[in-house]
Amino acid sequence: MSITHNFSSVTSLNVFFEEVRQSVEKCLDDLIPRSNLAPERLHEAIRWSAMAGGKRIRPALLIATGRVFGAPPGSMIRTAAAVEMIHTYSLIHDDLPAMDDDDLRRGRATCHKQFDEATAILAGDVLQTLAFQAIAGDENLTPATRVRLISILAEASGTPAGMVAGQQLDLDAEGHDISGPELEQIHRLKTGALITAAAKAGAVIGGASDAELEAIEQYAAKLGLLFQITDDLLDVTQETGVLGKTAGKDVAAEKATYPGRYGIEAASSKAASVCDDARADLLPVDRDTQMLTAIAEFVLHRTR
């Protein structure tokens, strides 16, 4: 299914999310090798994690941002799927015994539990390379745009300014009393970098100006921080069954979190003010940014 209509005719964010979900899952299904192709176990494991649901918020953000700048839907879908593949790889690796050692993800057994550790490591590895391959082979984009998108995604995924760097800092902080700025830096890298890359990629595909790109980056960095604060809050306030992953893990693992450091009330206030800041960052963009504002509100109030 392709997303064909304009935002202006979309009355509900949920309708938009559902459309993104369907088109991204169709694209993932096309890009990931079939499970009856050798090595079958590896392909089954990739599909187990990638096709397990998930909110698909990063693809939605990418497509919503691209729409702000008039990007045609067909030019965004592979990059949106690529971001989701990087995200899924990070979840598979994060759940491994050497990291968070989790049994439940997206409402089902984690990849290493369902298969085995080695297969889960390889499934994550392959999702990462498939992501870059998906963009490299996207004939709806010019070669220059493909290279730019690959570079944005690589920088956001790796180190020193990306997700893997954030993961390392997070692991290093376990059991330590870190400062507020250190906590924010972990969140900005571990969670914010990929979310920012998603929005930036949409803006680049839509041909945003440098000034617009700067504003979108500011907005998305706040959105990423907001996403992690609400994730921290949900970990202590929501049930495992609703989250589809083990609740209460952060406390058990002595993770550095906002509620852990400031308490639930102060963390909730911080989330609301970061959401306001994200909305304000959109003011210099002289386009219809309603959907991006709605996404920030959605992240603030999300329940899973």
Stretch that binds ligand GRG, among 25-33, 90-98, 269-277, 281-289 (CB under 6 A): 90-98
Kindly state the tokens that stand for 160. Answer: 């020193």
Kindly state the tokens that stand for 251. Answer: 């406390």
Q: Any contact of residue 274 with ligand GRG (CB under 6 A)?
A: no
DSSP 136: H
Nearest Cα to 199, choosing from 57, 290, 13, 66? Answer: 66
How far apart are alpha carbons 42 and 155 in whole angstroms?
27
Query: In this chain, which of 57, 61, 81, 127 binds ligand GRG, going by CB under 6 A?
Result: 57
- Which residue has the CB atom at the shortest distance from ligand GRG? 54
> b/e string for 87-120 if b means 16 or more Cβ within 10 A?
bbbbbbbbbbeeebebebbbeebbbbbbbeeebb
Roughly what angle, to the nearest 10 degrees, separates helices 77-94 and 13-31? Answer: 80
Q: Any contact of residue 10 with ligand GRG (CB under 6 A)?
A: no
Least CB distance from residue 127 to ligand GRG, whole Å?
11
Least CB distance from residue 154 to ligand GRG, whole Å?
13
Q: Which CB, 184 or 231, lies closer to ligand GRG? A: 231
Sign of CA dihedral 109, 111, 117, 119: positive
153 neighbors 132 (Cβ within 8 angstroms): yes
How far apart are alpha carbons 83 and 197 in whole angstroms?
8
Least CB distance from residue 132 to ligand GRG, whole Å?
15
Q: Any contact of residue 167 with ligand GRG (CB under 6 A)?
A: yes
Least CB distance from residue 94 to ligand GRG, whole Å?
4
8 neighbors 288 (Cβ within 8 angstroms): yes
Query: In this chain, which of 67, 78, 106, 270 binds ligand GRG, going by CB under 6 A?
Result: 106
Q: Any contact of residue 257 with ligand GRG (CB under 6 A)?
A: no
Q: Any contact of residue 104 with ligand GRG (CB under 6 A)?
A: no
Q: Any contact of residue 199 with ligand GRG (CB under 6 A)?
A: no
Q: Any contact of residue 112 with ligand GRG (CB under 6 A)?
A: no
Query: In this chain, which of 49, 75, 90, 110 binds ligand GRG, going by CB under 6 A?
Result: 90
Token pair 């870059």 is found at: 132
Q: Which CB, 54 or 73, lies closer to ligand GRG? A: 54
Q: Which residues bind ligand GRG (CB under 6 A)?
A: 54-55, 57, 87, 90-91, 93-94, 99, 106, 163-164, 167, 190-191, 228, 231
